[in-house]
Amino acid sequence: MKIALVLTDSSLECERAFRMLAECARAFSAEVSVHVILEDLYRLQSAGISLGIPLPPDTVGSAKEKAGEKVRRLWRRATGSEEAEVETHLTVGELMSEVRRFTGEKAPDMIVWGCVGTGDLCRILEEIDIPSLIIK
């Protein structure tokens, strides 16, 4: 079984979602991964381009590095192991297109969403038709 945790940059502190992912990994002997979609950064980047004010060159790399560090820290706390590692994917893009892409590539059997349920998320859930658990 493959279970993916999807986070947006506004939900990176969602410890409950990491704990749920760790519990699912143990209970189902599942292969787990974390997908962080930096949609806020994508919007900022798009606005900068349309205004002719691009982001500094290291902004995306720095944001991905910080997000990766948070994922490692939260995963280790959730598993209780300082050596625990989890497959992590960090992307900058629009939520719907990034979810379509990674579900097509990774084909998870279940998704744990570490975010607040919104109308956009409901549309995504209907489109991808993958069992999902929303943890806020």
pLDDT tens profile 23-41: 999 999 999 999 999 988 8
Could you give all domains of the chain from N- to C-terminal order, each with its CATH number? 2-135 (3.40.50.620)
- Evaluate if pTM is beyond 0.85: yes
List the one residue out of 106, 116, 131, 133 whose CA is nearest residue 19: 133
* H helix or E strand, kind and range, residue 46: helix 39-51
Model confidence pLDDT, tens digit, residues 61-117: 999 999 999 999 999 999 999 999 999 999 999 988 999 999 999 999 999 998 777
